[in-house]
A and B are shown apart, each in its own frame.
Chain A
Amino acid sequence: MTRHVFSRWSRVAGPVLFSLVVASSRADAQARAASPVLQAMKEELARNFAALRTQPTPAYFLSYEITETRSVNINSSFGALASSSAGRRRVLDMAVRVGDYAFDNTHAVRGQFGRPDFFGGFAGMAEVPIEDDAGAIRSILWYQTDRQYKRAVEQIASARTNAQVAVAAEDSSADYSAAPAEKYAEAIVPLDVDRAEWEKRLRSYTAPFARYGDLYDARATLDASVETRWYVNSEGSELQLSQPTYRLFLVAHSKADDGMELPRYESYFATTLTGLPSDEVVLKAVDKMIRDLHALRVAPVIDPYSGPAILSGRASAVFFHEIFGHRIEGHRQRNENEGQTFKKRVNDKILPDNFSVFFDPTLKQWESTQLAGFYRYDNEGVRARRVSVVESGVFKSFIMSRVPIEGFPSSNGHGRKQAGFSPVARQSNLVVQVFQPRTHAQLKQMLIDQVTRDNKPFGLLFDDIEGGFTITQRFIPNAFNVLPIMVYRVFPDGREELVRGVDLIGTPLTTFSKIVAGDDQIATFNGICGAESGGVPVSASSPALFLSQIEVQKKLKSQDRPPILAAPLQQSPRPAVPDRERGRQ
Chain B
Amino acid sequence: MRPRAWLLAFLYFGATATGARAQANAAGHANDVVMQAMRDELARSVEQLRLDTLPKPYFIAYRVAESQFNSVAARLGSLFGRGDNSRTRFLSVEVHVGDYAFDNTNYFGAGFVPSSFVGFGFMPLDDDYQEIRRQLWIATDRAYKQALEALAQKRAALETRMRPEEVADFSREAVHTDTDETPAPAFNRSDAEALVRLLSATFRAVPEIYNSNVALSSGWSLTRYLNSEGTSFTRAAPRVTLNVLANTQAVDGMPLADSYDVAVTSQAGLPSRDSLLAAARGLTARLTQLRQVPLADSYEGPVLFEESAAVELFNAIVAPKLIATRRPVANPQFDRMMASATNDWLDLLGTPVLPRFLSIVDDPTLRSIDGIPVDAYRVDDDGVPARATTVVEHGMLKTLLTTRVPVTGIAHSTGHRRGTGAMPSHVVVTADSAMTAPELRRKLLALAASQGLEYAIVVRRLANPRATAQLDPFAMMAVMMSSGSDAPRVQTLAAFKVFADGREEPVRGADITGLSAASFKTIVAASQTRTVYTTSLMSRTTPFAGGGGAGLVTYAMPSLLFANVSLRRPRGGNPRLPLVSPPSLDAR
Binding site for B on A (CB under 8 A): 44, 47-48, 51-52, 55, 68, 76-90, 119, 122-123, 125, 127-131, 133, 135-143, 145-146, 149-150, 200, 203-204, 207, 210-214, 216-217, 560-561, 563-574, 576-578, 580-581, 583-585
Contact across chains for A564 and B141 when beta carbons are under 8 A apart: yes
A214: B residues at CB distance < 8 A: 3
Distance in angstroms between the alpha carbons of A137 and B79 in the assembled complex? 11
Contact across chains for B580 and A560 when beta carbons are under 8 A apart: no
Distance in angstroms between the alpha carbons of A135 and B201 in the assembled complex? 11
Beyond A85-B83, A211-B14, A581-B33, whether A574 also contacts B40 by CB under 8 A is: yes
Q: Of B31, B41, B79, which contacts A130 at CB under 8 A?
A: B79
Residue of A nearest to B5 (CB): A570
Distance in angstroms between the alpha carbons of A143 and B9 in the assembled complex? 64
Task: Write the nearest CB–CB distance from B559 to chain A, whole angstroms.
Answer: 36
A90: B residues at CB distance < 8 A: 80-81
Q: Of A44, A203, A568, A572, which contacts B583 at CB under 8 A?
A: A44
Contact across chains for A563 and B137 when beta carbons are under 8 A apart: yes
Distance in angstroms between the alpha carbons of A332 and B126 in the assembled complex? 48
Contact across chains for B141 and A127 when beta carbons are under 8 A apart: no
A139: B residues at CB distance < 8 A: 75-76, 582-583, 585
Distance in angstroms between the alpha carbons of A207 and B13 in the assembled complex? 11
- 7 additional contacts (CB under 8 A) given A80-B128, A81-B125: A80-B131, A128-B80, A138-B585, A143-B582, A204-B18, A207-B17, A577-B129
B481 interface hit (Cβ, 8 Å): no
Distance in angstroms between the alpha carbons of A583 and B20 in the assembled complex? 8
Contact across chains for A119 and B44 when beta carbons are under 8 A apart: no
B204: A residues at CB distance < 8 A: 135
Distance in angstroms between the alpha carbons of A204 and B14 in the assembled complex? 10
Q: Which residues of chain B from 1 to 41 have a CB within 8 Å of any chain A CB?
A: 1-3, 5-7, 9-11, 13-14, 16-18, 20, 22, 26, 30-31, 33, 36-37, 40-41
Task: Write the nearest CB–CB distance from A422 to chain B, whole angstroms.
Answer: 15
Distance in angstroms between the alpha carbons of A560 and B149 in the assembled complex? 11
A137: B residues at CB distance < 8 A: 78
Beyond A79-B14, A127-B80, A574-B40, whether A47 also contacts B583 by CB under 8 A is: yes
Residue of A nearest to B32 (CB): A578
Contact across chains for B40 and A573 when beta carbons are under 8 A apart: yes
Task: Write the nearest CB–CB distance from A188 to chain B, whole angstroms.
Answer: 15
B272 interface hit (Cβ, 8 Å): no
Contact across chains for B78 and A133 when beta carbons are under 8 A apart: yes
B126-138: contact bitstring with A at CB < 8 Å (1 yes, 0 no)?
1111111111111
Q: Which residues of chain B from 399 to 436 have a CB within 8 Å of any chain A CB?
A: none
Distance in angstroms between the alpha carbons of A150 and B10 in the assembled complex? 65
B160: A residues at CB distance < 8 A: none
Distance in angstroms between the alpha carbons of A462 and B84 in the assembled complex? 43
Task: Write the nearest CB–CB distance from A418 to chain B, whole angstroms.
Answer: 17
Contact across chains for A85 and B86 when beta carbons are under 8 A apart: yes
Contact across chains for A136 and B76 when beta carbons are under 8 A apart: yes
B87: A residues at CB distance < 8 A: 83-84
Beyond A82-B125, A143-B211, whether A130 also contacts B81 by CB under 8 A is: yes
Contact across chains for B124 and A584 when beta carbons are under 8 A apart: no
Q: Of A77, A217, A578, which contacts B33 at CB under 8 A?
A: A578
Distance in angstroms between the alpha carbons of A565 and B6 in the assembled complex? 16
Task: Write the nearest CB–CB distance from B183 to chain A, whole angstroms.
Answer: 17
Distance in angstroms between the alpha carbons of A198 and B134 in the assembled complex? 23
Contact across chains for B22 and A580 when beta carbons are under 8 A apart: yes
Contact across chains for B580 and A48 when beta carbons are under 8 A apart: yes
Beyond A80-B124, A564-B50, whether A129 also contacts B36 by CB under 8 A is: no
Distance in angstroms between the alpha carbons of A239 and B476 in the assembled complex? 34
A81: B residues at CB distance < 8 A: 124-126
Beyond A149-B579, A211-B10, whether A567 also contacts B3 by CB under 8 A is: yes
Contact across chains for B122 and A83 when beta carbons are under 8 A apart: yes
Contact across chains for A129 and B17 when beta carbons are under 8 A apart: no
B144 interface hit (Cβ, 8 Å): yes
Q: Of B14, B40, B582, B583, which contacts A210 at CB under 8 A?
A: B14
Distance in angstroms between the alpha carbons of A84 and B9 in the assembled complex? 30
Q: Which of A129, A149, A204, A584 has the most CB of B within 10 A?
A: A584
9 A-B contacts, Cβ less than 8 Å apart?
A87-B81, A90-B81, A119-B473, A122-B473, A200-B18, A210-B134, A216-B138, A570-B5, A574-B40
B575 interface hit (Cβ, 8 Å): yes
A140: B residues at CB distance < 8 A: 75, 211
Contact across chains for B14 and A207 when beta carbons are under 8 A apart: yes
Beyond A119-B477, A127-B80, whether A211 also contacts B126 by CB under 8 A is: no
B343-364: contact bitstring with A at CB < 8 Å (1 yes, 0 no)?
0000000000000000000000
Contact across chains for A89 and B81 when beta carbons are under 8 A apart: yes
Q: Which of B37, B41, B134, B144 has the most CB of A within 10 A?
A: B134
B83: A residues at CB distance < 8 A: 85-87
B58: A residues at CB distance < 8 A: none
Distance in angstroms between the alpha carbons of A136 and B80 in the assembled complex? 10
Distance in angstroms between the alpha carbons of A449 and B310 in the assembled complex? 84
- The 9 lowest CB-CB distance pairs between A and B, nearest first, are A80-B124, A136-B78, A129-B78, A89-B81, A80-B128, A133-B78, A135-B585, A80-B131, A87-B83
B583: A residues at CB distance < 8 A: 44, 47, 135, 138-139, 141-142
Contact across chains for A51 and B580 when beta carbons are under 8 A apart: yes
Contact across chains for A203 and B477 when beta carbons are under 8 A apart: no
Q: Of A77, A128, A145, which contacts B580 at CB under 8 A?
A: A145
Residue of B nearest to A122 (CB): B473
Task: Write the nearest CB–CB distance from B210 to chain A, whole angstroms.
Answer: 5
Residue of A nearest to B582 (CB): A142
Q: Of B3, B11, B86, which contacts A213 at CB under 8 A?
A: B3
B586 interface hit (Cβ, 8 Å): yes
B45 interface hit (Cβ, 8 Å): yes
Distance in angstroms between the alpha carbons of A207 and B127 in the assembled complex? 15
B273 interface hit (Cβ, 8 Å): no
Task: Write the nearest CB–CB distance from A201 to chain B, whole angstroms.
Answer: 11
Contact across chains for B6 and A133 when beta carbons are under 8 A apart: no
Contact across chains for B130 and A131 when beta carbons are under 8 A apart: no
Residue of A nearest to B129 (CB): A573
Beyond A143-B210, A564-B141, whether A52 also contacts B16 by CB under 8 A is: no
Contact across chains for A146 and B578 when beta carbons are under 8 A apart: yes
Task: Write the nearest CB–CB distance from A323 to chain B, whole angstroms.
Answer: 35
Residue of B nearest to A577 (CB): B36
Distance in angstroms between the alpha carbons of A119 and B37 in the assembled complex? 46
Distance in angstroms between the alpha carbons of A448 and B385 in the assembled complex? 73
Contact across chains for B3 and A88 when beta carbons are under 8 A apart: no
Contact across chains for B45 and A565 when beta carbons are under 8 A apart: yes
Q: Which of A52, A137, A149, A569 has the most CB of B within 10 A?
A: A569
Distance in angstroms between the alpha carbons of A204 and B81 in the assembled complex? 31
Distance in angstroms between the alpha carbons of A138 and B132 in the assembled complex? 49
Distance in angstroms between the alpha carbons of A146 and B210 in the assembled complex? 11
A146: B residues at CB distance < 8 A: 578-580
Distance in angstroms between the alpha carbons of A454 and B18 in the assembled complex? 56
